[in-house]
Structure 1
Amino acid sequence: MLVSYKWLQDYVDVSDISPEELAEKITRSGIEVEEVEKKGEKLKKIVVGHVLSCEEHPNSDHLKICQVDVGEEEPIQIICGAPNVAAGQKVIVALVGARIGGNIKIKRGKIRGEVSNGMICSLQELGFDGKVVPKEYADGIFVLPEDTQVGTDVFSLLNLDDAVLELSITANRADCMSMIGVAYETAAIFGKEVKLPAANVPVSEEKVSDYISVRSESDDCPIYTAKVIKNVKIGPSPLWLQNKLMAAGIRPHNNVVDITNYVLLEYGQPLHAFDYDRFGSKEVLVRKAYEGEKMVTLDGTERTLRQEDLVITNGKEPVALAGVMGGLDSEVRDDTTTVLLESAYFNGTSIRRTSRYHGLRSEASSRYERGIDPTRVRLAAERAAALIAELAGGEVLEGTVAHDELVVEPVTVKVELNKINNFLGTSLSLQEVEDIVKKLQFTYTLDNETFVIEIPSRRWDITIQEDMYEEIARLYGYDNIPTTLPEGQQTLGHLTPYQQKRRVVREVLEGAGLLQATTYSLTSKEKFGQFALQPAEPVELAMPMSEEHAILRDTVIPHLLDSIAYNRARKNADVGLFEIGKVYYGKGANVQPEEVEHLAGALTGLYVNHPWQGEKVTVDFYTVKGILETLFARLQLAQGIRYEKAEIDGMHPGQTAKVLLNDEVVGFLGKVHPTREKEYDVKNVFVFELDLGKLLNIESKSLTYTKIPKFPGITRDVAIVVDQGKSAGELKDIIVSAGGQLLKDVNVFDVYIGEKVEENKKSVAFTLRYSDTERTLTDDEVNQVHEKVVEALQNAGAELRM
């Protein structure tokens, strides 16, 4: 809401308050003022000029040589390129040395060989937004009224000496979507009186009921009033009216349309003016649109209507989208002589739906959506009719035709002094509260220390005691409310060890390139039991929202596979997701299910993709295993972790492993079985799921550090032939056990099955690194230990491969 400081003074005396102070006080009372704009602050030496002559420039086909009277002894010559400049006009002139918009300084100069001693300005060049400039002057200079005094400065003439406050109005303060509403707010803050505009309408002997009738068939329009004004002369609005509209961000059109917009800003009551002769009948019928019905709105767009849309009709066809925009066929035009003036109360929810569906957001719809004061419907119509009579020479017919079925129930709120102070933490006196209620201009009675307050209809946001407490608090001043500290013993908040470790899990997985997902905790009967770590009874919902969400999940993986499929369907083939979430194990009927937190992940596509380096790494079993090993290392669990081959329903039998922590199964990882992948419409997906409770609740050993070795180590390779069923992990355990303290590291570097290796056998090769932190080892010392390792492997059934 843009509020003109000068216009506000028409309703409340703020002459002793600066715009900056006003903005500060309004903000402190609860309505944020985002900006105070002074358009003319940096402008100077800009006056009214009279174009005495206008001739073609000899060296240009679009420039004009103008002789302009600016109130000095002699006219000055100005070269102007505006297409609408002409002799006899009163125009805006920036003299030599003037400052215009953008802080541009005007200098004397030559244009195509002819001297120019200033500039004839458009409104845009003075800093006006092009959206508010009247259309006839949008591409040229602005022409002032003929009776404007030559040589006077334009600052007061164009309200450039004004300040405009931009208010950020919250949804509950629709009352401040009008100048009168802001005036009430200002008066309450500073303890002043509000001056309401008069609406003295001279009426003719003819009755409006002879020209129009009104009927509403929808509950969304409980009030509709119509007035008729004859003998209207359409023309430009007075400059003062145009200035006020432009300050509020509205483009002037003509005197009748501008008056409806002016009253909308003044009262917050939307109005609409129809051309009576183009309306099409003597009946106004408000109804719901027929499905597929069409009309052309004022913006020239044909709209296809729905049954939810509320429309104004002439009894046959729509002439306006109620509360949103009028129709093109019945708009007020230059030849209009009789105006049908609408003022109505529409349901805000209905207007909001229509506005959103058709993509039409107007000043009227924004006010209906927030809520308007029903008692101003008739007042605004009378005010507009009076202004049309005054500024357009109209003859207002006697009376108002109305459909009025709205019953406005009075709202009364009782507040007690002690409850006010208890609620706000203040010690306000009875007199202080009474003064605040008076400033709000609310009617009240006082019973001992209880206020019985009648809430005016303009403040429909106040309905309960707490609303009134807020009003008292903001006018008393939030900064005046004493500050206190909580009493009693205070404790510092902190994360539990489990929560700290859970953050580490998230950091590691995000660092590995996975994205965190959040999926439903509900699943279907078909997916229940798939990939589950342990069997459980299903926990079914009594009233599921769908079959897909009928049972509490016992595993996270199925929903991650759904997410992979969703991405794949949208051409996103490289995906890595993880989720930390609860799974639920049923314990029987009427027994609370066990809730366990799990960590699950799903990866597919490319894990590394560096085209400029020619490097591409596809996700495989070892990619997922490497991520988990990094996680276990950060959690200091690596020493207790081992992997065993596993067969799990829904998983590939040759690429699946159980994860064991201290010989207890805590999860699994592997590739999804191709059959199951087909069910989910995914390909080559690797998953893991871990019981996070078992991982994070175990007490890990303190982190210890060792010195960087000063002495070189010695490596030995050993290749052995074993049964294919023998895992590399088992062999590694044998090597570590036999290697003693000198053995620092063991890694598999080759597995071979093929020629020169017996059937059902495989060759596994290890690299062993030996070192000592205190000295350099000799070959003999290393050989002795290495021989023990080889002997241990042979005792386990391995044959040394030569």
Structure 2
Amino acid sequence: MFVSYKWLENYVDLSGISPEELAEKITRSGIEVEGIEKIGEGIKNVVVGHVVKCEQHPDADKLNKCLVEVGEDAPVQIICGAPNVAQGQKVPVAKVGAVLPGNFKIKKAKLRGEESRGMICSLQELGVESKLVPKEHAEGIYVFSDDAEVGKDAVELLNLDDAVLELGLTPNRSDCLSMLGVAYEVAAILDRDVKLPASTYKESTEKASDYISVKVEAKEDNPLYGAKVIRNVKIGPSPLWMQNVLIAAGIRPHNNIVDITNYVLLEYGQPLHAFDYDRLGSKEIVVRRAHDKEKIMTLDDTERTLSNNHLVITNGSEPIALAGVMGGADSEVKSDTTNILLEAAYFKGQTVRTASKDHGLRSEASARYEKGVDPNRVLKAGERAAALIAQYADGEVLQGTVTFNELEVEPAVVTITLEKINASLGTTISGQEVEDIFRRLQFEVSRTEDTFTVTAPTRRGDITIPEDLLEEVARLFGYDELPLTLPEGEGTTGGLSPYQSKRRTVRKFLEGAGLFQAITYSLTNDEKATKYALDKREPVKLLMPMSEERSNLRLSVVPQLLEVVSYNLARQNDSLAIYEVGSIFLKNEGEALPTEEEHIAGALTGLWQNHSWQGEKKAVDFYVAKGVLEGLFEELGIIDFINFRAAEIDGMHPGRTAEILLKEEVIGFVGSVHPEVEKELDLNETYVFELKATPIFEYNLPALQYTPIPRHPSITRDIALVVDSAINAGELKQIIKDAGGKLLKEVSIFDLYEGEHMEPGKKSLAYSLKYFDPAKTLTDEEVVKTHDKVLATVKEKAGAELRG
């Protein structure tokens, strides 16, 4: 809801309260003010000008040379390219030295040899959104009415010096979907009176009932319908002040009749509709449910097919409006309209919502009906609109309102005690203070000792139970004034579970390693659903997918990460490292619901390091991706239980992919994406990994043990072993570790050689072995004995020979 500060001043005295202070007070009382917009903020030196002469520029077909009075001693010459500029107009003029939105400064200039001292402005150039500019001014400059005073501040005249507060309303506060509702709220906050608008006009001697009859067949959907007939109206623009407040509220002005119905909609929160009486085709209004497959052409020139779930206004035979949503094109108020039928009705919110949703038509009117309008304002809003039409369209309002009324409205009566208020809020508010809060809210209240019986006005449909009154007392007493207390009684301390803690550790480590978190869809298409899956299952299909691209629950996170990489590469972001801790879904035979498992996945491409000053660049490769995972496993304390094993996985490069094993269980993979997949997705060389989270997070680690800092030296031996090319370095390393026993503390590979001096089918792997005994200094004999055992074992199990 957009609330004009200047418009609000018509209903509540805001003296001494700035828009910013008012926004703060409203927010602290329970309705969040999401922002304050000042459309004309920063605009300077823009005045009303009078075009006394207008002729074509001598050297330009599309420019006009205008002589404009701007309230100074002499007129100024301004070159204007607007197609609608003409002699005699009153227009907004930015004089030399003026500042327009965007800090655009107006200077004296020459256009095609002719001097220009200023600029004649359109509303768009003054900061008004194009969609809100009246159609007659959409393609050119804005033109004031003839009574505009030359030299007057145009920003003030156009209400651009107003402040517009945007209220973020919760569904229960539909009362504040109107200026009067906001006025009651602000008046309660400031403890000031509400000034209600006048609805007086002179009635005709003719009766409205002689011109129209009202019949309602769908009484449950429409318990109240009022129709007023107004004759001899003159269609034209609405007054400038009304256009200004509509623009501030985000509504585009059209003509005086439509603008008045929109104005009253915003003022009272009650939707109205004006029909061209002469285009109705009959003298009766019948409200009923639509027939199945019935057609109506709505105001947006779209033919719509109705069902019996939709409520329509008819002329007795044909629909002329979709009730509460949109009027029909056949009965639209047009420039030649002279007689109108004004509708003010109460429609059931659910019925309106059904039609609005079915036809994709959500309007200011339907939004209010859906959330609930004040039943006691329905006919009052019609009277207010009739008075404005009489005043600004010279309408002749016929006597009386033709109504159908079976609406039974009883205001809610709710009782609450002072003890409950203070016990719930932890306060010591006095009975007089509580009574005063209800008075400020203009709730009728009677008090018996410390019991309050409150009659809530029908505008506040959210007040139904004692807790609602409790909320009203709390917010107007002031949430900031409520005492701060600690909870009493026994309780449990909060904290993360071990699983949650490890998930947080994963995110912290990966982000520290330079990866950015991604959050992708859990939905994918048929083709990608089974790609890169660690567990091969039939994918879970959605019964009503939003699209074919999102029709299956995923079995792997990697395909979605590759989509992210592809999207970024297409936008020249070619170095990317991302990860996701997300869910995959495994179908279980015979069970309705799938099993949801958490996976850790990542994708890396481009440069891993780029030090431009030193000229150092390092591209992502297999060992970068593997190193990130090894660091993660070390952080989680499971690195000693992890092994990598060469593997072939569909969609992955056959020579650069490894399975990841925790003990003997395969928990994931890491490697390079297959070149064909990279070509298909327009990827550069990309590396991915994916792991099952549950086995990692729930792995039972041995108890933590501490060892003293060694006092005795270690002994290092390096060996180069010649083995068959098919032997994996990791397998050979494990054989060495097992053979070394307790004395062998560390084994690390530091060289691989496959060159011209090596036999075909052979390679050399060099390892560094560190021997150590925490209890004593090792002797050469002890080390030699263990080392010889290692050499014998690798020869026996792997056919390894020492390289000469």
| 3-state SS in 2 of match to 1:696 | coil
Paired position in structure 2 for 1:274: 275
Stretch of structure 1 that moved more, 193-202 or 629-638 = 629-638
The offset of 1:488, in angstroms, is 7.7
Alpha-carbon spacing, 1:627–1:735, altered in 2? closer, same or farther (3 Å): farther
Matches within 5 A, 1:603-752: 634-637=635-638, 667=665, 695-696=699-700, 698-702=702-706, 713-717=717-721, 735-737=739-741, 740-741=743-744, 744=747
Letter paired with 1:375: N
Verify the 8 A CA contact 1:668 1:690 in the aligned structure 2.
no
Say whether 1:473 aligns with 2:474. Answer: yes
Verify the 8 A CA contact 1:719 1:801 in the aligned structure 2.
no
Matches within 5 A, 1:342-741: 342-486=343-487, 493-495=494-496, 500-501=501-502, 503-504=504-505, 561=555, 634-637=635-638, 667=665, 695-696=699-700, 698-702=702-706, 713-717=717-721, 735-737=739-741, 740-741=743-744
| 3-state SS in 2 of match to 1:396 | strand
How far apart, CA to CA, are the structure 1 residues paired with 2:482 and 2:191? 20
Alpha-carbon spacing, 1:598–1:712, altered in 2? closer, same or farther (3 Å): farther
Paired position in structure 1 for 2:649: none
How far apart, CA to CA, are the structure 2 residues paired with 1:735 and 1:439? 87
Verify the 8 A CA contact 1:50 1:68 in the aligned structure 2.
yes
Alpha-carbon spacing, 1:512–1:561, altered in 2? closer, same or farther (3 Å): farther
How far apart, CA to CA, are the structure 2 residues paired with 1:250 and 1:559? 42
The offset of 1:747, in angstroms, is 11
Deviations 1:705-762 (A, max 9, x none): 8899997632153769xxxxxx98996675234x844874699999xxxxx9xxxxx9
Verify the 8 A CA contact 1:625 1:669 in the aligned structure 2.
no
| 3-state SS in 1 of match to 2:206 | strand
How far apart, CA to CA, are the structure 1 residues paired with 2:292 and 2:771? 88
Verify the 8 A CA contact 1:728 1:764 in the aligned structure 2.
no
| 3-state SS in 2 of match to 1:189 | helix
Letter paired with 1:413: V
Paired position in structure 2 for 1:538: none
Verify the 8 A CA contact 1:32 1:167 in the aligned structure 2.
yes
Stretch of structure 1 that moved more, 296-305 or 446-455 = 296-305
Stretch of structure 1 that moved more, 263-272 or 387-396 = 387-396
How far apart, CA to CA, are the structure 2 residues paired with 1:429 and 1:298? 56
Deviations 1:274-301 (A, max 9, x none): 1111122223233334444433322333
Alpha-carbon spacing, 1:561–1:340, altered in 2? closer, same or farther (3 Å): same
Alpha-carbon spacing, 1:501–1:87, altered in 2? closer, same or farther (3 Å): closer
Verify the 8 A CA contact 2:712 2:777 in the aligned structure 1.
no
How far apart, CA to CA, are the structure 1 residues paired with 2:797 and 2:494? 55
* Length, aligned pairs only: 718
How far apart, CA to CA, are the structure 1 residues paired with 2:211 and 2:126? 46
What percentage of residue pairs aligned between the two structures are identical?
51
How far apart, CA to CA, are the structure 1 residues paired with 2:213 and 2:497? 74
Verify the 8 A CA contact 2:557 2:584 in the aligned structure 1.
no
How far apart, CA to CA, are the structure 1 residues paired with 2:662 and 2:240? 85
How far apart, CA to CA, are the structure 1 residues paired with 2:659 and 2:46? 84
Q: When the two structures are superposed, what TM-score results if normalisation uses the length of structure 2?
A: 0.74
How far apart, CA to CA, are the structure 2 residues paired with 1:567 and 1:98? 52
How far apart, CA to CA, are the structure 1 residues paired with 2:79 and 2:603? 68
Say whether 1:339 aligns with 2:337. Answer: no
Verify the 8 A CA contact 1:636 1:700 in the aligned structure 2.
no
Paired position in structure 2 for 1:295: 296
Letter paired with 1:49: G
Verify the 8 A CA contact 2:91 2:144 in the aligned structure 1.
yes
How far apart, CA to CA, are the structure 1 residues paired with 2:748 and 2:315? 92
Say whether 1:166 aligns with 2:166. Answer: yes
Paired position in structure 1 for 2:684: none
How far apart, CA to CA, are the structure 1 residues paired with 2:34 and 2:107? 35
Letter paired with 1:33: V
What are the ranges of 5 or more consecutive residues in structure 1 without an aligned counterpart?
521-530, 533-545, 550-557, 586-596, 645-654, 672-684, 721-726, 751-755, 757-761
Matches within 5 A, 1:95-174: 95-174=95-174
Verify the 8 A CA contact 1:736 1:746 in the aligned structure 2.
no
Verify the 8 A CA contact 2:722 2:800 in the aligned structure 1.
no
Verify the 8 A CA contact 1:578 1:599 in the aligned structure 2.
no
The offset of 1:380, in angstroms, is 0.5
Say whether 1:311 aligns with 2:312. Answer: yes
Say whether 1:197 aligns with 2:197. Answer: yes
How far apart, CA to CA, are the structure 2 residues paired with 1:576 and 1:72? 66
Paired position in structure 1 for 2:85: 85
Alpha-carbon spacing, 1:350–1:600, altered in 2? closer, same or farther (3 Å): closer
Alpha-carbon spacing, 1:230–1:705, altered in 2? closer, same or farther (3 Å): farther
The offset of 1:632, in angstroms, is 6.2
Alpha-carbon spacing, 1:776–1:381, altered in 2? closer, same or farther (3 Å): same
Paired position in structure 2 for 1:524: none
Stretch of structure 1 that moved more, 389-398 or 446-455 = 389-398
Say whether 1:285 aligns with 2:286. Answer: yes
Stretch of structure 1 that moved more, 131-140 or 116-125 = 116-125
Alpha-carbon spacing, 1:707–1:178, altered in 2? closer, same or farther (3 Å): farther
The offset of 1:337, in angstroms, is 0.8
The offset of 1:256, in angstroms, is 0.9
Letter paired with 1:367: R
Alpha-carbon spacing, 1:703–1:85, altered in 2? closer, same or farther (3 Å): farther
Alpha-carbon spacing, 1:467–1:114, altered in 2? closer, same or farther (3 Å): same
How far apart, CA to CA, are the structure 2 residues paired with 1:401 and 1:14? 39
Verify the 8 A CA contact 2:714 2:772 in the aligned structure 1.
yes
Verify the 8 A CA contact 1:598 1:693 in the aligned structure 2.
no
Paired position in structure 2 for 1:553: none
| 3-state SS in 2 of match to 1:77 | strand
| 3-state SS in 2 of match to 1:329 | helix
Stretch of structure 1 that moved more, 297-306 or 22-31 = 297-306
How far apart, CA to CA, are the structure 2 residues paired with 1:517 and 1:91? 53
Stretch of structure 1 that moved more, 352-361 or 493-502 = 493-502
Q: When the two structures are superposed, what TM-score results if normalisation uses the length of structure 1?
A: 0.74
| 3-state SS in 2 of match to 1:415 | strand
| 3-state SS in 1 of match to 2:375 | coil
| 3-state SS in 2 of match to 1:695 | coil
Q: CA RMSD in A?
A: 5.3
Verify the 8 A CA contact 1:180 1:266 in the aligned structure 2.
yes
How far apart, CA to CA, are the structure 2 residues paired with 1:65 and 1:393? 38
Deviations 1:279-337 (A, max 9, x none): 22223233334444433322333334444333323233332222222222211111001
Deviations 1:395-426 (A, max 9, x none): 22222222333322321111111211111121
How far apart, CA to CA, are the structure 2 residues paired with 1:13 and 1:670? 68
How far apart, CA to CA, are the structure 1 residues paired with 2:583 and 2:86? 75
Letter paired with 1:162: D
| 3-state SS in 2 of match to 1:286 | strand
Verify the 8 A CA contact 1:198 1:383 in the aligned structure 2.
yes
What are the ranges of 5 or more consecutive residues in structure 2 without an aligned counterpart?
524-533, 544-551, 567-577, 589-594, 609-616, 646-656, 670-688, 725-730, 754-758
Paired position in structure 2 for 1:206: 206
Alpha-carbon spacing, 1:107–1:389, altered in 2? closer, same or farther (3 Å): same
The offset of 1:498, in angstroms, is 6.4
Alpha-carbon spacing, 1:345–1:75, altered in 2? closer, same or farther (3 Å): same
How far apart, CA to CA, are the structure 2 residues paired with 1:628 and 1:40? 56
| 3-state SS in 2 of match to 1:458 | coil
Verify the 8 A CA contact 2:444 2:456 in the aligned structure 1.
yes
How far apart, CA to CA, are the structure 1 residues paired with 2:33 and 2:694? 53
Verify the 8 A CA contact 1:624 1:686 in the aligned structure 2.
no
Paired position in structure 2 for 1:682: none
How far apart, CA to CA, are the structure 2 residues paired with 1:45 and 1:518? 52
The offset of 1:369, in angstroms, is 2.3
Paired position in structure 1 for 2:59: 59
| 3-state SS in 1 of match to 2:198 | coil
